[in-house]
Amino acid sequence: MPSPRNKPTPLSDSEIEHIAAEIAAGRPPMVWFTAAAVGVPEGRSGKVVALGDPAEGDFLQVRPTGSRDVLSFSPVEVTVTKPPREKAAAAPGRAEPAPRKETPVTQSPSPTSAPVAKESATRPAQDAAKPQPAKTAAPAPDPAGSSRPAPAKAAKAPARKVKTPEVSVTLAGTADGEWTVEVVTGKKRSVRGLPVSSAAVAQAAKLLHPEVAEVVAGVLDAAREAQLAKVAQLQAELEAAKRALEDLDS
């Protein structure tokens, strides 16, 4: 009976410190996903490329093997212990056919027959040495007929379905023209409040859809007018301050 599969253990404080040291040395350590990981199959490997704030919970930035995306995971979703490979299940053997009934005949061994078993000690040796004429026996009918069981086919293990997590990208802007982007993969916030320039936002909007570009352009125009008004107000305050300074010097 095969031994039960070892359950991967969550990351401990010492393992997290070791991961931080490896990242600092430029050697992203390898980890494996546990059954608690969402959106990634259990036993798949990945590399920890960065560590975030532990207060956020999902502070381990991991790039799964074969993927370019960097996702956030908690210490209970990955482990540094490599899970053992499961042994392939042995294919069931072929079913033995039903025994054939033979008609009892007296027949001497032919040149192509199998070796004759040793005679019993009670049978005289000279009887076994006497040659006997070979008789051709008619092939016995197969009583089983078509009821003979067909060879069993090896059962194929069902392929494991990998659920693709949903990705949500949120672009937010303020009246002052400041833009940020957030990315949520499944239930994990992969990117949080990443600042982007207004020029990049305008260029991305043009590539997405004309309606999106129109809405973003209106927001950018409003932000531009607000900034112009602020510049004019600051210039007026600067002129007033200069005049007050001249009055003090006179």
Which residue among 50, 79, 108 closes a domain?
A: 79
Which residue among 53, 79, 105 closes a domain?
A: 79
Q: How far apart are CA 198 and CA 220, in angstroms?
A: 7
User: Has residue 6 been placed in a domain?
Assistant: no
The tens digit of pLDDT for each residue in 70-95 reads 899 988 898 988 888 764 344 344 44
User: Has residue 19 been placed in a domain?
Assistant: yes
Which residue among 79, 103, 125 closes a domain?
A: 79
Q: How far apart are CA 72 and CA 61, in angstroms?
A: 5
pTM of this prediction exceeds 0.85: no
User: Has residue 228 been placed in a domain?
Assistant: yes
- Under DSSP, is residue 189 helix (H, G, I), strand (E, B) or coil? strand
Q: How far apart are CA 238 and CA 246, in angstroms?
A: 12
User: Has residue 1 been placed in a domain?
Assistant: no
Placement of tokens 């095969």 in the chain = 2
Taking the chain (250 residues) in consecutive chunks of 10 residues, what is each chunk's mean pLDDT?
A: 50 90 93 88 91 85 90 90 64 42 42 41 47 54 54 64 77 81 82 86 85 87 87 93 88
Q: 73 forms bridges with which residues in the sheet?
A: 60
User: Has residue 3 been placed in a domain?
Assistant: no
Q: Which domain holds residue 57?
A: 13-79
The tens digit of pLDDT for each residue in 21-42 reads 999 999 999 999 998 888 889 8
Per the structure, the count of domains in the chain is: 2
> At 39, which CATH number?
2.30.30
